[in-house]
Amino acid sequence: MSESTPSSRKNIVILGGSYAGISVAHYVLKHAIPTLPQTEAYQVVIISSASEAMCRPACPRALISDDMFPQEKLFVSIPKQFEQYPEGSFRFVHGSATAVDHDQRMVTVRLEAGKTETLKYHTLVVATGASTPSPLFGLNRDEAFLKEAWVEFRSSLATAKRIVIAGGGPAGVETAGELGEYLNGRAGFLSSQLDNPKVSITVVTAGSNILPALRPSIAKTAEQYLAKVGVTVIKNTRVKGVSPPNAGADSSNLTTGATIALDDGSSLEADLFIPATGMTPNTSFLSQILLTSTGQVNTNLSTLRVDAAGPRVYALGDVSSSARPAVHNILAAVPVVGANIKRDLLLAAGKSESEVNVEKLFKEDKRETQMVPIGKSKGVGAAMGWKLPSWMVWAIKGRDYWLWTTGGLWSGKQWAKESK
Ligand SMILES: Cc1cc2nc3c(=O)[nH]c(=O)nc-3n(C[C@H](O)[C@H](O)[C@H](O)COP(=O)(O)OP(=O)(O)OC[C@H]3O[C@@H](n4cnc5c(N)ncnc54)[C@H](O)[C@@H]3O)c2cc1C
């Protein structure tokens, strides 16, 4: 059954309730709407497949056990974070966008309850992120789906003797490090590697080094730390095929044993296979003409508008072509999207150019920045081009995988001040 919502308000629709979507919603509610001539004529609507937000970078450790993090901090209710705003100014819709008609400016949503709803939008922000092939690494669907995947994975972890991880990026390396330390422990100070680990853990990467976003010398250190928790790295080798084909990816084959064929003709046997390669942007509901060849939303790199979609449409976060998928890029994009939404709403409400701020422009910081914990006490990384010592990676990220930062993001405290 389909119903359309006749709203007397102008909808500022945000698709996706994670780092990008929640941040923009707070920013607009705090800094844009109060400046509009008729404040009560607008409503911010977040539409998200999950009703909870979660600290996604924590997945490589969180998937091992609920004891790793306080669960009430790891997952938070989205609607609760918006109870602070005036009644009617915010609405949460638990469902997935299935179609956007950017000519008619309508979004169709499959509601969690099974029905369909269509909403007209005045402003649209696409912040639906990207999905991982493994369901262990984020809200590919909703929080229940993620938690169920973890429960199943944990039950198989108890008996697994061979684990293969495809992908030498941070998700694969962090997961290998966490599993290695949890299952095998850590070699002593004087040993360069853990001999005869209880569980054999192998990372396979097509690259000549793991962690391609970091310089090779840092990647080498990461490899040494991995060896200390019993993880072997196979480089310059591509996974050619997996049998059964969806091993580790779909829920029915999440923990099935698998044979992994490599492009050098050899193969590996695994009790657990974790595909940690590649992300798919969540854009199936958009017209192809709004997408790049890799499926991301084709976004104006400076204004973060989606120029081909008509006025007042924006994209940011992992779904957008504007920057490398990382939280620090989202934090830099939020004030730009927020300021440009404010400007565009004021102009649409009849203000003149001279009465509104000039456009705010985004520029991605492309310096080497990535932190990769390897278990609970070690890590490698760089920030703004500077190599970081292991203890600093531990202090900033490895202790709790950024959980110390997400409270302020979800509650909006992070966005209390308007960026000038
Ligand atoms: C294992 C792992 C570790 C990471 N570690 C780090 C790190 O240490 N540092 C760092 O900077 N970055 C890290 N990242 C990247 C970081 O998590 C992402 O950049 C960030 O989560 C992107 O946020 P987002 O808001 O764009 O989208 P996402 O976090 O992907 O969230 C998108 C939301 O939209 C919802 N959604 C999807 N489709 C629809 C739809 N059709 N309709 C409505 N809702 C929809 C999803 O359910 C989800 O809630 C990591 C990523 C992974 C997978």
- Kindly state if the Cβ of 60 falls inside 6 Å of ligand 1: yes
Rounded average pLDDT over 248-265: 94
For ligand 1, atom 2: residue with the closest CA: 57
Q: What is the pLDDT of residues 303-359, one digit of tens each?
A: 999 999 999 999 999 999 999 999 999 999 999 999 999 999 999 999 999 999 999
* Tokens read off for 34: 């109060």
Kindly give the distance from the C-alpha atom of residue 313 to the centroid of ligand 1, in angstroms, as a whole number: 20
Q: Quickly name the fold that domain 2-132+279-367+405-415 has.
A: FAD/NAD(P)-binding domain (3.50.50)
Kindly give the distance from the C-alpha atom of residue 283 to the centroid of ligand 1, in angstroms, as a whole number: 13
For ligand 1, atom 53: residue with the closest CA: 137
Q: What is the pLDDT of residues 355-379, one digit of tens each?
A: 999 999 999 999 999 999 999 999 9
Give every CB contact of residue 165 below 8 A, 6+ residues apart in sequence: 172, 175, 176, 201, 202, 203, 204, 273, 274, 276
Rounded average pLDDT over 386-409: 96
Residue 377 CA to its chain's centroid (Å): 24
pLDDT range class, residue 1, cuts 50, 70, 90: very low
- Kindly state if the Cβ of 97 falls inside 6 Å of ligand 1: yes
Task: Give CA–CA dist 128/272, Å, rounded.
Answer: 29
Q: Are strands 52-54 and 106-111 parallel, antiparallel or unpaired?
A: unpaired
Cα of first residue to Cα of last residue in the chain, in angstroms, is 46
**Residue among 297, 293, 255, 294 at smallest CA distance from 275:** 255
Is the confidence at residue 4, as pLDDT, over 60? no
Instruction: Give SS3 for 270.
Output: strand
Kindly give the distance from the C-alpha atom of residue 19 to the centroid of ligand 1, in angstroms, as a whole number: 7
Is the confidence at residue 392, as pLDDT, over 70? yes
Q: What whole-number percentage of the chain has pLDDT above 90?
A: 94
Contact by Cβ (8 Å): 235, 209: yes
Domain(s) labelled CATH 3.50.50.60 in the chain stretch across: 2-132+279-367+405-415, 143-275
Q: What is the pLDDT of residues 113-152, one digit of tens each?
A: 889 999 999 999 999 999 999 999 999 999 999 999 999 9
Kindly give the distance from the C-alpha atom of residue 327 to the centroid of ligand 1, in angstroms, as a whole number: 9
Rounded average pLDDT over 265-290: 97
Cα–Cα distances in angstroms (integers) from residue 291 to residues 105, 108, 151, in the given order: 17, 18, 35
Kindly give the distance from the C-alpha atom of residue 130 to the centroid of ligand 1, in angstroms, as a whole number: 6
pLDDT at 290: 98
Rounded average pLDDT over 272-277: 97
Rounded average pLDDT over 56-84: 98
Q: Mean pLDDT for the chain?
A: 96
The minimum-distance atom of ligand 1 relative to the CA of 171 is: 1
pLDDT range class, residue 7, cuts 50, 70, 90: low
- Kindly state if the Cβ of 318 falls inside 6 Å of ligand 1: yes
Give every CB contact of residue 72 below 8 A, 6+ residues apart in sequence: none
Amino acid at 57: P
Kindly give the distance from the C-alpha atom of residue 54 to the centroid of ligand 1, in angstroms, as a whole number: 9
Task: Give CA–CA dist 209/224, Å, rounded.
Answer: 12
pLDDT at 251: 83
What would be the CATH architecture of the domain defined by 143-275?
Answer: 3-Layer(bba) Sandwich (3.50)
> Mean pLDDT lowest for which of 88-97, 125-134, 186-195, 298-307?
186-195
Instruction: Give SS3 for 267.
Output: strand
For ligand 1, atom 16: residue with the closest CA: 326
Is the confidence at residue 2, as pLDDT, over 70? no
- Neighbouring CB atoms inside 10 A of 219's CB total 23
- Kindly state if the Cβ of 57 falls inside 6 Å of ligand 1: yes
Q: Is 105 left (phi over 0), alpha (psi -120 to 50) or beta?
A: left
- Kindly state if the Cβ of 167 falls inside 6 Å of ligand 1: no
The minimum-distance atom of ligand 1 relative to the CA of 325 is: 19
